[in-house]
Amino acid sequence: MLTRSQKEEIVQKLTNQLADSPAAVFADFKGLSANDMVQAKRDLREAGSSFQVIKKSLLAIALKNNDIELDPKSLDGQIAVAVSPDEVTSAKLIAKIAKGNEAVKIVGGVLEGEILSQDEAVALSKMPSLDELRGQLIGLLQSPAQGFVGSLQSPQQAFVGAMEAFGGKSE
């Protein structure tokens, strides 16, 4: 049993994490083995996210402290909160864990202070991350330049090829 001061510390820590983060995902982890739970926490920590199992009553206080009007009792199962430094990291990792283990499922989330339904939180997990978007943008920016360079080189290559072919036949 947690003491009052431990509960206050947990609530304060989660309150700060929610205030500093653009997104949080709530997951039902009932039935997840201890080893899988440790691995999930490790994966999330390596990505800069936190993963914490929390009582719904303590979660309600932390949400209220951040002016988020969500009743955690409406969420199914035993709840864990994954808080990430960006909008999609936690959702992506929880979805990845859920694919490998049917005991885990996303049950909701918060994005920029707005409550996400289960479907919205799952959709968030399918969005590309900021790094993926940057890579796609760079690819799009490079594509016309590469095409232009290729089109400049192709007449020269055709001419050289024709000259080599012509030169080879005359001998």
Same-domain pairing of 120 and 138: no
Same-domain pairing of 73 and 117: yes
Give how many domains the chain has, as a whole number: 2
pLDDT of the residue at 152: 66
pLDDT in tens, 154-168: 677 777 777 777 776
Same-domain pairing of 77 and 64: yes
Same-domain pairing of 154 and 70: no
Place of tokens 């289960």: 118
In 3D space, the residue among 74, 88, 76, 73 whose CA is nearest the CA of residue 120 turns out to be 88
What is the rounded distance in angstroms from the CA atom of residue 24 to the CA atom of residue 90? 7
Same-domain pairing of 90 and 157: no
Q: Are strands 79-84 and 50-53 parallel, antiparallel or unpaired?
A: antiparallel
Same-domain pairing of 101 and 41: yes
pLDDT of the residue at 163: 75
Same-domain pairing of 63 and 145: no
pLDDT of the residue at 148: 66
What is the rounded distance in angstroms from the CA atom of residue 25 to the CA atom of residue 51? 9
Domain containing residue 78: 4-127
Same-domain pairing of 23 and 36: yes
pLDDT of the residue at 43: 87
pLDDT of the residue at 48: 87
Residues of the chain predicted below pLDDT 50: 170-171
Same-domain pairing of 42 and 94: yes
